[in-house]
Amino acid sequence: MASKFDIVSQALVLIGEAPISSFSEGTAGLVASQLYEVTFDGLLTSHRWRFAVGKSQLNRLTDTPLNSWRYAYQLPSQLLMLVNVKHNPPYEIYEDKLYTDIHKVEADYVYRPDEGSLPQYFVESLAARLAETFAIPITNNQTMREAMRELAERRFQEAIFKDSQGRPPVAIQHRPFVDVRR
């Protein structure tokens, strides 16, 4: 169970800095306060993390859309990125609404979970990505940033592998090329 400060402190230690206890502590605290949120959201939307995918039936709005669509639906407030709309209907997103012609919409989406519920593999990947992001503003050392970029990429790939265990592969049921040989 990591907190925001734990993750930021881990990133700072990776670049040779002291951990912080407040986002108002010196340069490191200021840099962390400015870059943490965008880096966290960027990492969440860089892959379809199983722990950060929500499923919801969208609420249909009573107002008729102004364009050619028949229905408008409210997207979830915590949505960072839409992943899938059930049955793949044609749709468009305007602002925080989804427009389509189907009368019921179920969607999968990436949302931002609390830091305390993040799996350890993601925490390590986020800390490495933050270390890469913090390296120049805090240390002004390009070599450090490149080393952190390599670490961040390695931890990202490891995290993707571990996260993929949350959705095992589905066996192919329809095999027309194999079945024709019988």
Read off the pLDDT of residues 36-49 as tens digits, 9 standing for 90 and up: 999 999 999 999 99
Is 178 part of a structural domain of the chain? no
pTM listed for this prediction: 0.85
Domain with 143, as residue range(s), is 4-48+116-166
Residue 35 and residue 120 in one domain: yes
Is 68 part of a structural domain of the chain? yes
Whether the predicted pLDDT of 166 surpasses 80: no
- Phi first, then psi, for residue 85 (nearest 5°) are -115, 125
Whether the predicted pLDDT of 25 surpasses 90: no
What domain count does the chain have?
Answer: 2
Is 173 part of a structural domain of the chain? no
- Phi first, then psi, for residue 74 (nearest 5°) are -80, 125
Q: What is the mean pLDDT of residues 4-17?
A: 96
Residue 43 and residue 127 in one domain: yes
Q: How far is CA 119 from the centre of its chain?
A: 13
Residue 44 and residue 57 in one domain: no
Is 175 part of a structural domain of the chain? no
Band the pLDDT of 64: cuts 50, 70, 90: confident
